[in-house]
Amino acid sequence: MLKVSVIGATGFTGEELVRRLVSHPKVKLTYVCGKESRSEKIQDLFPSLKGVDLPCHAFDPKKAIESSDFVFLSLPNTVSMKVAPQFLEAGKHVVDISADYRMDNELIFKAAYGAQHEDTDNLKKAIYGLPELYREKIRASSFIANPGCYPTSVLLALLPLLDKGLSPKGICIMDAKSGVTGAGRKASVQLNFSDTNENFKAYRVLSHPHEHEIGHVLKQQRAAWDFVFVPHLLPLNRGILTTLYVPTDKAKSPKKLQEIFKSFYASEPFVTVLPDGKLPEIRHVRGTNQCHLGLSFRASQNMLVIVSAIDNLVKGAAGQAIQNMNIMCGFEEGLGLS
């Protein structure tokens, strides 16, 4: 059994990680910790975890290192980079779920997050953990930067086009909508129920850091697309649905495009291209590690509309992190994810 730690177990992603890891057949969860000093058991924090008898400590790096071989960092941005180096130095395998190691370049990190990177050595070593793009690199790596939730929903919608070298003839629009867990579990007037329920809004228009992450991966793929990304906040707990508008020029038939997507994802366990005429819905991916994709095409405008849906806490965070662990450790890729 692989001995696993979750550093930052009390947020939504940490909770989802713990819930899935305790029933993962190859894993023994040996250490979890939360933001503050707690004497509570993890079961008291999350009463649905009946029978899990693990204490939830204040973070003690030494204890974490001693008790585990594999570490999930589920920490706020700019905090992970203070913590990751000691685990890596101790030879642990690490999946970092924060944004800290997703760019291989500290300037892009600074442009996106407005902060100086403090661990540029490891920044260059981390592999971007999108299995559908980098599975072999992930398999060979011991340090994974788990993708952001929005970039996961966007990139999975674009990989088949990138693979064929197709690029948009004009600006690609990415209109993304996320449930509220995407903002984390925190005290905030902005996130209180009464002002969020029965509400909907765009936020950080033209200034969300995930736009940098998307652009960075596109460039890595030599696809320096012109695009605009605008996120919105949905009054629901879980799920991201992104609508992408990709102007094409060679008018591929809808059938041909459908085939390109179907064929690209034919053997992927966690991406489903819906049959022609069907569209993704958040309820169909909620609680799953699936990404659902639906295509529509208007020939008169050469306009391809792609709708992409994931659960932000699963394929967009904890589920993809476990998928990465499974790949890194040679486990069956779907363990803990059904």
Please tell me the distance from the alpha carbon of residue 236 to that of residue 197, in angstroms, as a whole number. Answer: 8
Bridge partners, residue 245, by sequence: 173, 305
- How far apart CA 3 and CA 126 sit, in angstroms, is 21
CB 290 within 8 A of CB 270: yes
CB of 325 to a second copy, least distance (A): 19
As measured in angstroms, the least distance from the Cβ of 85 to a second copy is 30
Closest C-alpha among 212, 204, 205, 152 to residue 183: 204
Question: 319 with 311: CB under 8 angstroms?
Answer: yes
Residue with Cβ nearer a second copy (90 or 223): 223
Tokens of 234: 């949905």
The distance of closest approach from Cβ of residue 48 to a second copy in the complex, given in angstroms and rounded to an integer, is 5
Please state the closest distance from residue 231 (CB atom) to a second copy, in A.
10
State how far the Cα of 252 lies from the Cα of 138, in Å rounded to an integer.
33
Q: Cα(37)–Cα(18) distance, rounded to whole angstroms?
A: 18
Q: Which is nearer to a second copy, 60 or 195 (CB)?
A: 195
Within 10 angstroms of residue 289's Cβ, the number of other Cβ atoms is 24
Nearer to a second copy, 79 or 305 (CB): 305
CB 9 within 8 A of CB 17: yes
Q: Which is nearer to a second copy, 89 or 226 (CB)?
A: 226
> Per-residue DSSP letters for 129-159?
--HHHHHHHHHT-SEEEPPPHHHHHHHHHHH
Query: At a CB cut-off of 8 Å and minimum separation 6, what does 140 contact?
Result: none
Closest distance of CB 122 from a second copy, Å: 31
By annotation, the residues acting in catalysis are 149
Q: Considering the complex, state which of residue 11 and residue 129 has its C-beta at the smaller distance from a second copy.
A: 11
**Listed residue (194, 204, 206) closest to 233, CA to CA:** 204
- If the CB atoms of residues 50 and 250 are measured against a second copy, the closer one turns out to be 50
Sign for the CA dihedral angle at 335, 50, 64, 58 comes to positive
- CA-CA distance, 201 to 233, in Å (whole number)? 6
In angstroms, give the least distance from the CB of 1 to a second copy.
17
Q: Cβ 68 to a second copy, closest distance in Å?
A: 23
Nearest to 95 by CA among 77, 75, 72: 72
Task: Reduce the DSSP state of residue 292 to 3 states and report it.
Answer: strand
Taking the least distance from each CB to a second copy, the nearer of 14 and 280 is 280
The structure tokens 């004497």 sit at: 39
